[in-house]
Amino acid sequence: MAEATARRRARGTGGGAARRAERTSTAVETAKFIERNIPNFEVLTTEALEIIEHNAETVLEEIGVNFVNNPGALARWKEAGADVQGERVRLPRGLARSLCATAPSQFTQHARNPERNVEIGGRNLVLAPVYGPPFVRDLDGGRRYATIEDFRTFVKLGQMSKWLHHSGGTVCEPTDIAVNKRHLDMLLAHMTLSDKPFMGSVTEPSRAADSVEMCEILFGKQFVSENTVLTSLVNINSPLTFDDVMMGALETYAAAGQACIVSPFIVGGAMAPVSVAGTLTQVLAEVLAGVAYSQLIRPGAPVIFGAFVTSIDMNSGAPTFGTPEAAHITYGAGQLARRLGLPYRSSGSFCGSKLPDAQAAYETANSLNMGLLSGVNFMLHACGWLEGGLVSSFEKFVMDADQLGTLHHLAKGVQIDENAQAMDAIREVGPGGHYLGCAHTQANFKSAFWRSEVLDYKPYETWSEDGARDTVALAQVRMRKLLDAYQKPAMDLAVEEQLNDYVARKKASMTDSFT
Amino acid sequence: MAEATARRRARGTGGGAARRAERTSTAVETAKFIERNIPNFEVLTTEALEIIEHNAETVLEEIGVNFVNNPGALARWKEAGADVQGERVRLPRGLARSLCATAPSQFTQHARNPERNVEIGGRNLVLAPVYGPPFVRDLDGGRRYATIEDFRTFVKLGQMSKWLHHSGGTVCEPTDIAVNKRHLDMLLAHMTLSDKPFMGSVTEPSRAADSVEMCEILFGKQFVSENTVLTSLVNINSPLTFDDVMMGALETYAAAGQACIVSPFIVGGAMAPVSVAGTLTQVLAEVLAGVAYSQLIRPGAPVIFGAFVTSIDMNSGAPTFGTPEAAHITYGAGQLARRLGLPYRSSGSFCGSKLPDAQAAYETANSLNMGLLSGVNFMLHACGWLEGGLVSSFEKFVMDADQLGTLHHLAKGVQIDENAQAMDAIREVGPGGHYLGCAHTQANFKSAFWRSEVLDYKPYETWSEDGARDTVALAQVRMRKLLDAYQKPAMDLAVEEQLNDYVARKKASMTDSFT
């Protein structure tokens, strides 16, 4: 005990805060982001990749992209050597790719708890929760519009989820707060209820600026000017259109050295060609233009090659998830991102199902597996997504978050040291024997297998006596357990007060807007 | 019409049977077995593979395997150069591998409808349904002991399932039939209710002989002597034990030139070491010994490198499914099988869940995806497995069978021809446009995307009005539709009569046994 106290003092942490931090770190275990020790799965040949890259340059050169309502962007492009006609920007072959070269291939996103910092890029995979749904669903209450209380509950669940490295952004839309004020409450929740990294607002350039200012309170102004503390989601209005709202956010963040995911938002057959190769061509053209633009704002600004891709049910026009075509695009886009030297964002707990049922789980498992194997570096929507992204599901959040453990274990690859070879165990047990009691099993079983915290492994009879619960019912139990055990991570009270003041002051300065 | 009739006549098929066959082939579409156009996913380095191969030879040389109650096998091994002490057989380094060399790397299993023949090996994947459960479950009736009527229903569902290439074997245990007579009714169901390939009995050498005899009636004696018409499941009693019942079946089938899956049955941590590399070592040693033995019976007999592997929940001792450790073993065993030049069997619709719920679907999707990517050539249990293999689920059968379509589409890989590049479509639509109406989409949408026949893609409101059904309820609808549309495939009435006679005669010669 004395030694532990001494070490704690030696690190220079204050007594009370340190003790709180220690309690918290016991209760809340967070896995380190995934460092893959397995290969990526690649579906495109080098020849196919070169054709797609050639075609993407042709798209940029011949067809070009639109930068809408954004005279500043048009001027920057002209200055950089593009052919600008009206809002159409055509890029000479190679220009975008050469501008992309200043973007880092990997960067650190800092969390207020440095143990939660994430490295985005390389062979890493960082997992962040669902983003954007206006509705929530739970087993007892059904489907309803999301509120800020729901939002806070999701942030707490994220903080308590071992396999989740990131607190995310709009885990659901707090529809009970005015549209122009929501971002303040959302950021406050991420900053105070979690100590994992988080995302900034992109719905208005001024809200992006607010996000940076709140980070300056949380991390200190100097720290924010020198480090990345926000990764935010900038969607491209596919096909080939960059709107002023999203670009305004990108400009704000890039100028502040904060990271953006530059992400085509594509339902194949609607916003991109119905073929995989055609979709990849458009995705690459859009990312090249968007990332190049970020580097015009500030060379070296951290950016992520994004690809939100799904296919379409041609009978109903509904987007479909976990499909083989989405997998092909996700694998292929990963190859394109690596050739471009950029971190890659794709995949998630995607599903079209209305309920957290078997459909949801098939589609989600298909998506999560392809996300791991395609080399994704930042996986948004890694848990909690339901109904094509219209709903954040509380039970599915913990079900998916549990499955994320399988990705961690898969990514470890196969050990081949002497202990793993287990020749002594095979000798000890011999033909017809049993391994449960042998020395090697006893020494290794604790770390050998991933173990679910949600799923049922009981014998049939016990399971029946316990109420014959399905996965959703088990997830509800798990969710309540996590929320009961939740502890607000320790925080400097003065900082928290300043954040509260900032939010109150900003809100007081605005009239409610619900559009 | 006249030309079609002429061609039909030229093939020598009778008019009535041909017309029936034509009607049937319209109603029942069966996809060709999967020919992969994507790479295999490999987790082991060459160095790791060599260590495992070296260690497996050490196991065979130092520890050896037991052939239980089988003096004939011991004599064959002695003759082949093994060191035989009691029932323990130790194989000099390299002996097993050199004996395996006569086993074919690929073989055709014939179906009575030649269009349903499957090629097992190479880059192919053949999908067969669940095998072995004593219970069935459906939405209305719950969980109950399986009967021969349930068995026949599963065979019909298999016949009607587009993505299933194989009718399988014991799709459930018909517990209302005496143990010593079941195989006759099961084979009769496969032979008469389906025209897909099927499996033989392995529960007694005499039942294996009955299986071959019934095939001689169905295919003709000469045909069976020259072709493989059965692929049967021979489990190894892991660790390192070959019992007389399974080996008796193997001996019967190998001597008749019929195929066997030589399959370690392993719950990791119980029947094999708790580590992946240790399990792979034991799996390889067991398969080497089993396959080598099949080649002692008849060089060139078709065999499959099997690996039924799952991990264990160390808290309850229950087997667990769809886990990352099972995935590592499945990927690794595929690499070992390819290096040995043998077709590979693994994976399936594995799950531990008691219900066809989200847990079942996560676990199943994890398993099916790893099965495709690990290079499996024959996937038993590809649909319908529930509750750790204790239950065949009717609804899960059609849910999984639907998901098998995703494997077919994934395996196609990515087209890169001019049509797939879709440059004209990107030019036609341009920035801000919409692809739904463009010429390329109209020309390609029908074949572009896999489409589920079970899952729900409706808007929320429509889905609610339709009863807010979950996947199981939708699967029940699908199942009924398939059974309503089922047509018994056309068959020579004389052959059917002979099969019925054979079964009746055999049954009359035996007293019921229920053990």
This model of the complex carries an ipTM of 0.94
* DSSP string for residues in B444-471: HHHHHS---SSS--S-HHHHHHTT---H
Whether B415 and A277 lie within 8 Å, measured CB to CB: yes
pLDDT above 80: residue B235: yes
Bridge-based pairing of strands A142-145 and B34-35 is unpaired
Which residues 373-402 in chain A show a CB within 8 A of chain B?
373, 387, 390, 396, 399
Instruction: Kindly state the DSSP code that residue A116 receives in the 8-state scheme.
Output: G
A282 reaches B (C-beta below 8 A):
yes
Contact A440, A66 (CB under 8 A): no
Task: List domains and CATH numbers for chain A.
Answer: 98-412 (3.20.20.480)
Do B432 and A241 make contact, defined as CB atoms within 8 angstroms?
yes
Closest Cα in chain B, distance from residue A400 (Å): 9
Residues of chain A with Cβ-Cβ distance to B317 below 8 Å are 436
A–B interface: beta-carbon pairs under 8 A? 406
Of the residues B84, B274, B404, the best mutation for testing chain A's interface (the one with the most A CB atoms within 10 Å of its CB) is B274
Instruction: Inspect the interface and report whether the beta carbons of A471 and B359 lie closer than 8 Å.
Output: yes
Contacts of B440 in chain A (CB under 8 A): 273-275, 278
DSSP readout, B350-407?
A: ----SSSSHHHHHHHHHHHHHHHHTT-SEETT-S-EEGGGTEEEHHHHHHHHHHHHHH
Give pLDDT tens digits for B259-312: 999 999 999 899 999 999 999 999 999 999 999 999 999 999 999 999 998 888
Cα of A357 to nearest chain B Cα, Å: 5
pLDDT at B12 over 50: no
Could you count the other beta carbons within 10 Å of the beta carbon of residue B428?
17
Q: What is the pTM of this model?
A: 0.94
**Does B362 contact A at CB distance below 8 Å?**
yes
Interchain contact A284–B (C-beta under 8 A):
no
Provide, as residue numbers in chain B, all residues whose Cβ is less than 8 Å from the Cβ of A418: none
User: B274–A426: do the CB atoms touch at under 8 Å?
Assistant: no
pLDDT confidence of residue B36: 98
Nearest to A415 among B277, B353, B354 (CB): B277
Provide, as residue numbers in chain A, all residues whose Cβ is less than 8 Å from the Cβ of B38: 43
Residue that the structure tokens 């520890």 belong to = B63
| B61-103 per-position pLDDT tens digit | 999 999 999 999 999 999 999 999 999 999 999 999 999 999 9
Contacts of B457 in chain A (CB under 8 A): 313, 315-316, 318, 320, 352
CB proximity A362 to B under 8 Å: yes
Mean pLDDT, range B29-46, rounded to an integer: 97
Verify whether the Cβ–Cβ distance A277 to B63 is below 8 Å: no
Residue B135 has pLDDT above 90, yes or no: yes
* Average pLDDT score, chain B: 94
Per-residue model confidence (pLDDT) at position A2:
38
For residue A215, the distance in angstroms to the closest alpha carbon of chain B comes to 35
Which residues of chain B have a CB within 8 Å of the CB of A311? 448-449
How high is the pLDDT of residue B446? 87
Whole-number Å distance between alpha carbons of B415 and A452: 38
Pairing of strands A319-320, A308-312: antiparallel
Write the residue in B41, B323, B373 that is nearest to A449 by C-beta.
Answer: B323
Distance between CA atoms of residues A365 and A362, nearest Å = 5
Cβ pair B361:A360 closer than 8 A: yes
Phi, psi of A260 (to 5 degrees): -130, 145
Subunit contact B241:A431, Cβ cutoff 8 A: yes
Q: Which residues contact B482 (CB under 8 A, 6 or more apart)?
A: B156, B157, B160, B161, B398
Nearest CA in chain A to B356: A358
B25 or A247: which carries more pLDDT confidence?
A: A247
Chain B contact present for A367, CB below 8 A: no
Q: Which residues of B436-469 are buried (b: 16+ CB within 10 A; e: fewer)?
A: bebebbeebbeebbbbbebbbbeeeeebeeeeeb
- A184 CB-near residues (< 8 Å, 6+ apart): A210, A214, A502, A503, A506, A507
Our CA-based measurement puts residue B440 at a distance from the nearest CA of chain A, in whole angstroms, of 8
- Compare CB distances from B415 to A272, A275, A450 and report the shortest one's residue: A275
3-class secondary structure, B331? helix
What is the Cα–Cα distance from A32 to A30, expressed in whole angstroms?
Answer: 6
Q: Which residues of chain A lie closer than 8 angstroms to B322, CB-CB? A: 365, 406
Residue B337 CA to residue B376 CA, distance in Å, equals 9
The helix/strand/coil state of B209 is helix
Beta bridge partners of B126: B378
Find all residues with CB under 8 Å of A354, minimum gap 6, and list them: A143, A386, A387, A391, B456, B460, B463, B468
Residue B18, pLDDT > 90, answer: no
Contact A366 B406 (CB under 8 A): yes
Q: Three-state SS for B135? A: strand
CA of A295 vs chain B CAs: smallest distance (Å): 22
| CA closest to B39 among chain A residues | A43
Tokens of A349: 């707990």
State how far the Cα of A180 lies from the Cα of A178, in Å rounded to an integer: 5
B164 pLDDT exceeds 90?
Answer: yes
A57 interfaces chain B, CB cutoff of 8 Å: no
> In chain B, what percentage of residues exceed pLDDT 70?
95
Name the residue facing B58 among A41, A408, A423 (closest C-beta): A423
Both structure tokens of A48: 């196919």
CB contact B451 to A (< 8 Å): yes
Mean pLDDT along residues B140-158 = 98
Q: Does residue B31 sit at the A interface (CB-CB below 8 Å)?
A: no
Mean pLDDT calculated for residue range B369-393: 98
User: What local confidence, expressed as pLDDT, does residue A476 receive?
Assistant: 98
Per-residue pLDDT in tens (0 to 9) along chain A, 515 residues? 333 333 333 333 334 444 444 444 435 689 999 999 999 999 999 999 999 999 999 999 999 999 999 999 999 999 999 999 999 999 999 999 999 999 999 999 999 999 999 999 999 999 999 999 999 999 999 999 999 999 999 999 999 999 999 999 999 999 999 999 999 999 999 999 999 999 999 999 999 999 999 999 999 999 999 999 999 999 999 999 999 999 999 999 999 999 999 999 999 899 999 999 999 999 999 999 999 999 999 999 999 999 998 888 888 888 999 999 999 999 999 999 999 999 999 999 999 999 999 999 999 999 999 999 999 999 999 999 999 999 999 999 999 999 999 999 999 999 999 999 999 999 999 999 999 999 999 999 888 899 999 999 999 999 999 999 999 999 999 999 999 999 999 999 999 999 999 999 999 999 998 77
Contact B39 A41 (CB under 8 A): yes
